[in-house]
Chains A and B, each alone.
Chain A
Amino acid sequence: MTKSRLVMGPILFHWDEQRKHDFYAQVADEADIDIVHVGEVVCAKRMPFFDKHLPDVIERLQRAGKEVVLSTLALVMNGRESDQIKEITQMPDLLVEANDISAAGLLAGKPHVIGPYINIYNESTLSYFEDQGAKRISLPWELPMTSIARLCETRKSAEIEIQIFGRMPLAISARCYSARARGLHKDGCRYVCGDHIDGMDVATLDNAPFLAVNGLQTMSSHYVELSDSIEDLQNAGVNAFRLSPHSLDMTCVAQLYRQLLDRQISADELRQNLKNMSLPMAFSDGFLHGMAGAELRNTLGQGAE
């Protein structure tokens, strides 16, 4: 079995420039991470803020020995966004992750990454993208273990990736719900999505945590946490494991998962450590087990209780 690679997914939230800078500096200097994704996935309106810093950030990460991938928009809706995608996919010497079919089509013929926003549910589709030159394919969040195993079995050469930590993107819309919650329209949004660095909590009328809004994106309130199934995933043939950035110490999170992948700590220990971190999180792994995505099969990390 080849070494499992750890991937830092793109920052999905609208963090300010300083926070992003600090984050990538820390990832470059301290984190035991193999691959780092940069770039805006959720909203084109956020792009001007950090795009100008990207060349420096990319260079710094590469100098630190990381494989850097530029992630692209998940929902491409107009001519301007289409043109941006075209421009990005024509950049030489840069690995790009397609999160919309437009990018996937433009990247055909050269090595690229297929992101989790592209619908890959079965062998034929996986095989199609491999034929187009995808070298790593990050599978959608709602796939159950049975499908993941089957896809691993039939793939030819691409790396298969699964997100193992972080809130799961569940939907994307033309409408901005961060703005709507403040009584604003998207065109005059005042970038209020930036107020919630891990997403805006959405609860049911009974006050049960349910979802998290991140601009155009609606995410799970629960954090997916697959430590309990890491061995099964590795055995099935999954070779890349994605962490989705949040406001807690991601270097520490990365180190925990690195140790878990290398069998140095148990899933129990990892979960206990996550629980002791600064961010209150509820976990779930239902999708993997073919249940409702919000479900958690086993309660780990209860210590000696």
Chain B
Amino acid sequence: MELVCPAGTPASLHAAVDAGADVVYCGFRDATNARNFPGLNFSRDELRDAVRYAHKHDVHVYLACNTYPQAGIEYIWQAAIDDAVAIGVDAVILADIGLLRYARDRHPDARLHLSVQASASNEEAIKFYHREFAVRRVVLPRVLSLEEIRYLNHRIPVETEVFAFGGMCVMAEGRCSLSSYATGESPNMNGVCSPAAHVHYEERDDMTVSRLGDFTINIYDQNEKVGYPTLCKGRFRAMNKSGYLFEEPTSLDVTAILPELAEAGVTALKIEGRQRGKAYISQVVSAFRASLDRISQGQLTTRSSLSTLSEGQSDTTGAYRRSWQ
């Protein structure tokens, strides 16, 4: 399986290439990608240098242009595609249908991948994107179980890429307005979820209170391990109970089920975390490189050693195991 790794800065891209990535994906420094965080991402020049460096090491570069263009300023997203193709990236990752049509018409030779933000979670949806826009690979939503993935791979004419490590979206990606409900900024429109500018920490008695916009999303004590102040990973009250209603602070780690994913016909493994530092990139990419190499030599399982990098310092195999639902 191909190892697809994140890079939020040129330094991270170098780290990923050096640690054994097969592919590095990144985005431009604007609202055209789903990690539009302050101080992150690539200028045109930086991407050009990055592609040169990666190609020299036989590593591919994908550009994520996976937010939904706003009405009236679609040209910003279209320019991102044009520039990425001109720079020579190996694939463009898209979610918006208008943009897919643009890319197909304007750059018929470009390799198009369907972003997880398009939330193509079934056979018909994937066939649709393949038929209409000649999409060559689909990044599967994190809501599918291993059996569902295996079933799909037997029935669709495109490659599949699945999330292997990092942040867990418990909601279907690209179909979630929780962040904009609390802050006015959403993954689809702004490329951010629960953005830092709307996060506030407050000390109350001996506890830390994290607030997103006007809403308290968690309260924890001094020693508790935490995750990102993401809305769906907060504590709430319902039915006279309180706690992590949607998901505990945890990260995805598929190390334990790598052989099963390979057997299910998955083409590529995606590591989440363009917002993470190069230390994270080096550690996670090397660990997965080593695991994949061991598996290709016939070893059946491997154990992960990455939990210190995870939210809440804990891991899950998420929806891949049906019991998660």
Are A and B in contact, CB atoms below 8 Å, in the complex?
Answer: yes
A201/B238 in contact, CB under 8 A: yes
Is A63 an interface residue, CB under 8 A from the partner?
A: no
Is B163 an interface residue, CB under 8 A from the partner?
A: no
- Comparing A34-42, A168-176, A243-251, the segment that makes contact with chain B is A168-176
Residues of A within 8 A of B119 (CB): 75
Q: With contacts A119-B174, A142-B180, A174-B143 known, is A204 near B237, CB below 8 A?
A: yes
A174 to B148, CA, bound (A): 12
A154 to B71, CA, bound (A): 10
A294/B216 in contact, CB under 8 A: no
Residue of chain A at shortest CB distance from B142 = A174
A180/B96 in contact, CB under 8 A: no
Main secondary structure, interface of A, reads: mixed
A106 to chain B, nearest CB (A): 6
A79/B189 in contact, CB under 8 A: no
A210/B215 in contact, CB under 8 A: yes
How many of B's residues come within 8 Å of A, CB to CB?
A: 70
How many of A's residues come within 8 Å of B, CB to CB?
A: 73
Residue of chain B at shortest CB distance from A125 = B98
A200 to B143, CA, bound (A): 22
Residues of A within 8 A of B189 (CB): 121, 142
A207 to B242, CA, bound (A): 10
Q: With contacts A104-B128, A121-B70 known, is A128 near B98, CB below 8 A?
A: yes
Residues of B within 8 A of A187 (CB): 322, 325
B68/A76 in contact, CB under 8 A: no
Partner of B177, one of A85, A205, A293: A293
A173 to B247, CA, bound (A): 11
Partner of A174, one of B172, B180, B245: B172
A146/B72 in contact, CB under 8 A: yes
B170/A124 in contact, CB under 8 A: no
Residues of B within 8 A of A190 (CB): none
Partner of B124, one of A105, A151, A202: A105
A82/B124 in contact, CB under 8 A: yes
B217/A170 in contact, CB under 8 A: no
1/0 contact string of A147-164 vs chain B (CB within 8 Å): 100110010000000000
Sorted from nearest, which 7 A-B pairs have the closest CB atoms? Answer: A124-B98, A105-B128, A102-B124, A174-B143, A293-B181, A125-B98, A121-B68
8 contacts between A and B (CB under 8 A): A74-B175, A78-B122, A173-B171, A175-B324, A181-B238, A204-B236, A218-B246, A293-B184
Known: A121-B188, A124-B102, A171-B172. 20 other contacts (CB 8 A): A75-B143, A76-B122, A103-B124, A105-B125, A105-B131, A121-B70, A124-B69, A124-B99, A129-B97, A172-B172, A172-B176, A174-B143, A175-B246, A180-B245, A200-B238, A204-B236, A205-B218, A210-B236, A220-B181, A294-B213
Measuring CB to CB, which residues of chain B are less than 8 angstroms from any residue of chain A? 68-72, 74, 95-99, 101-102, 118-125, 127-129, 131-132, 143-145, 148, 151, 170-172, 174-178, 180-184, 186, 188-189, 213-219, 232, 235-239, 241-242, 245-247, 319, 322-325
